[in-house]
Amino acid sequence: MTPEFMTSATFPASPPENRSWTRYFGFNTDAKVIGIQYIVTAFFFFLIGGLLAMIIRGELITPAADLVDRTVYNGIYTMHGTIMLFLFIFPVLNGLNNLLIPTMIGAPDMAFPRLNAVAFWLVPIFGSLLIASFFVPGGPAYSGWWSYPPVSIQNPLGHFVNGQGLWLTAVALSGVSSIMGAVNFVTTILRMRAPGMGFFRMPVFCWTALAAQSLQLIGLPALTGGAVMLLMDLSFGTSFYQAEGGGDPVLYQHFFWFYSHPAVYVIILPVFGIFSELFPVYSRKPLFGYVYVSLASFIIVGLGLIVWVHHFFTSGVPQWMRNLFMVNTMLISVPTGVKVFAWLGTIWRGKLRLTTPMLFCLGGLFNFVFAGITGVMLATVPVDIHVSNTYFVVGHFHYVIYGAAVMGIFAAIYHWFPKFTGRMPYEGLGKLHFLLTFVGANLNFLPMHPLGLMGMPRRVSSYDPEFAFWNVLASLGAFLLGVSIIPFLLNMVSAWVRGPKAPHNPWNAIGLEWLLPSPPPEDNFGEHVPTVISRPYGYGTGEPLVENQAEIERQLTLQEASA
């Protein structure tokens, strides 16, 4: 990294630091402000998406379609998936990227701070667009978050402005926002690391973020292109996907899944990063096999790009393609297994501290291993033919997304909350939140597996009575999950307002971000970026991470004592 580069990143000189709460509501270029903007916005939409999930589970607690009209049900399940993916999970992860990447690598900010702010402000814009689609004539999009044609281009009312059109516009904008974010994260990681921080001294979270954001750059153009063509079919009479005009509806499935399968890795890779960061801290041991774990992320990227056809084994693909994509898919379990075993090796013979973040990590790992096993089952074509598009798949991916990813995200929020707010979260509320989440998620998502094996299709608004028992259990679990968010919100709000002041390193963790005050100043280390002299996670080795570490820590402690 050249000094010129750093100057250009912070130029023009920033105005005097604005530390008031109002900075969170404006166009701010500080990655730490943007990170919190992302996370708070994401949780706002999480509540909306969760409310829709409650309506879905309320409808499905009885076999008949009796709570809402079928059209309303279809709109609600579509918006639940869309909001949770595009407005909750991607933004919340970008929030963590914004908070963690610059502080972990010792950069003053992201490489392109204004692009970063624009990428964030697109989120509330396309979010409002999506929410507005509830109020247009005919209601919101109802064709599922895949939006497969021809259902998605049927446009029953024939209006030019319709729910599906708004949906497609919002998804395209979301793609633009994600590409802007990805360019920024990749550039920042490649070019702005602290002196001495070679790739193999980089925290695993940054490795996984680099891998995930590279996937965004490779995959998103396919989805965005596919979505634009769908919008043209819907609004301008083209027939890319319409059989009667010479198009092919299956073509869309290729465009969609070429991105949307890797999107799952965009979600889960940073969560692997979180596990890799947190298990060492709370086991007081180095990460087992750091190099293997880091490289495994990129093996997952490579394989993740060549498995997309497994999403439509039933849709008319030839036998050789089925076999090829099955084998590719199953191979992913090898690098993923390497990571799981590395985490087990990390906690083995450690000195475990079962704090809230550690509990969320352990619970997340438990759920992830379960999801991995059902994932291998789904990869094998004959079993997939039976259970594809059934509740088995719904159960599988909710174990991945909620059971593993969201639990990992909660772990990260509890772990880094003191760093970025300067306040300590409450342990009791945190543990209550963990307990409700873990029990609720398993009660909600485990019953979906027997339902799928019995042959209950996903996306149904009514079902045969033989499915009632497991659906009642799933609904009760869902309502428990709904309740589980209350202690979390209570914890976050009250801790931020009046929680105990956080020291610079409350968990006794190793990492550049823990050598900053809590909360860090706007330009992080400013002119005094420490020089990294060893690998991360040196727990128990006694080796300092950076030059003059003792002196830096003494300064921070003095600062805290005088404050």
Partner 1 sequence: MSNPSGRSRPPISSVGLVALLGWIGLLIALSWWMAQQAYRWLPVQASTAAPLVDGLFSFETGIGTFVFGAVVSVMVWVVVMHRAEKYDETDAEPIEGNTRLEVVWTAIPFVLVMAIAVYAIQVNTRLGVLGPMEHIHLANPVEEQGGYPADRLPAEQVEVIARQWSWEFRYPDANVSTTELHLPVDQPVTFRLVSEDVLHGFYIPAFRLKQDVIPGRAINFNLTPTREGRYRLRDSQFSGTWFAANQADVVVESQEEYQAWLQHAAHQPLQPGLSDAVGEYGTRKQLKNPGWATVPPAPPPQVNVPGSNTLPHDA
Residues from 273 through 292 that contact partner 1 (CB under 8 A): 283-292
Distance CA 219, CA 222 (A): 6
Q: Which is nearer to partner 1, 17 or 466 (CB)?
A: 466
Q: Which of residues 145-204 bind partner 1 (CB under 8 A)?
A: 148-151, 154, 156-157, 163
How many residues at the interface with partner 1, by CB under 8 A? 101
Least CB distance to partner 1 at residue 116 (A): 35
**DSSP assignment letter at 11:** P
Q: Which is nearer to partner 1, 163 or 440 (CB)?
A: 163
Distance CA 181, CA 262 (A): 16
Q: Which of 95, 165, 249, 425 binds partner 1 (CB under 8 A)?
A: 249
Q: Which of 124, 144, 422, 544 binds partner 1 (CB under 8 A)?
A: 144
Q: Which is nearer to partner 1, 83 or 365 (CB)?
A: 365
Q: Which of residues 293-312 bind partner 1 (CB under 8 A)?
A: 312
Q: Which is nearer to partner 1, 125 or 376 (CB)?
A: 376
Distance CA 432, CA 406 (A): 16
Instruction: Rule CB under 8 A: say whether 322 interacts with partner 1.
Output: yes
**DSSP assignment letter at 2:** -
Q: Which of residues 93-132 bind partner 1 (CB under 8 A)?
A: none
Least CB distance to partner 1 at residue 541 (A): 5
Least CB distance to partner 1 at residue 521 (A): 28
Q: For the chain, give the number of residues.
A: 563
How far is residue 156 from each of residues 79, 81, 174, 439, measured CA to CA in Å?
Answer: 18, 22, 26, 41
**DSSP assignment letter at 460:** -
Distance CA 361, CA 433 (A): 13
Distance CA 271, CA 404 (A): 8
Distance CA 433, CA 531 (A): 39
Q: Which is nearer to partner 1, 295 or 485 (CB)?
A: 295
CB 226 within 8 A of CB 260: no
Instruction: Rule CB under 8 A: say whether 460 interacts with partner 1.
Output: yes
Q: Which is nearer to partner 1, 38 or 399 (CB)?
A: 399
Least CB distance to partner 1 at residue 316 (A): 5
Q: Which is nearer to partner 1, 314 or 559 (CB)?
A: 314
Torsion, Cα of 272, 276, 279, 284 (10° steps): 180
User: DSSP letter string over 16-78?
Assistant: SP--SGGGGGS----HHHHHHHHHHHHHHHHHHHHHHHHHHHHHTTSSSS-SS-HHHHHHHHH
Least CB distance to partner 1 at residue 280 (A): 10
Q: Which of 383, 435, 473, 476 binds partner 1 (CB under 8 A)?
A: 383
Options 2-10, 32-40, 136-144, 178-186: segment touching partner 1 (CB under 8 A): 136-144
Instruction: Rule CB under 8 A: say whether 427 interacts with partner 1.
Output: no
CB 122 within 8 A of CB 174: yes
How far is residue 452 from each of residues 40, 73, 330, 385, 523, measured CA to CA in Å?
Answer: 35, 20, 21, 12, 52
Residues 6+ apart with CB under 8 A from 399: 367, 368, 370, 371, 374, 441, 445
Q: Which of residues 336-375 bind partner 1 (CB under 8 A)?
A: 337-338, 340-342, 344-345, 347-354, 362, 365-366, 369-370, 373-374
How far is residue 79 from each of residues 84, 230, 552, measured CA to CA in Å?
Answer: 8, 18, 49
Q: Which of 47, 68, 217, 218 binds partner 1 (CB under 8 A)?
A: 68
Least CB distance to partner 1 at residue 441 (A): 16
Least CB distance to partner 1 at residue 178 (A): 25
Q: Which of 195, 199, 386, 557 binds partner 1 (CB under 8 A)?
A: 386
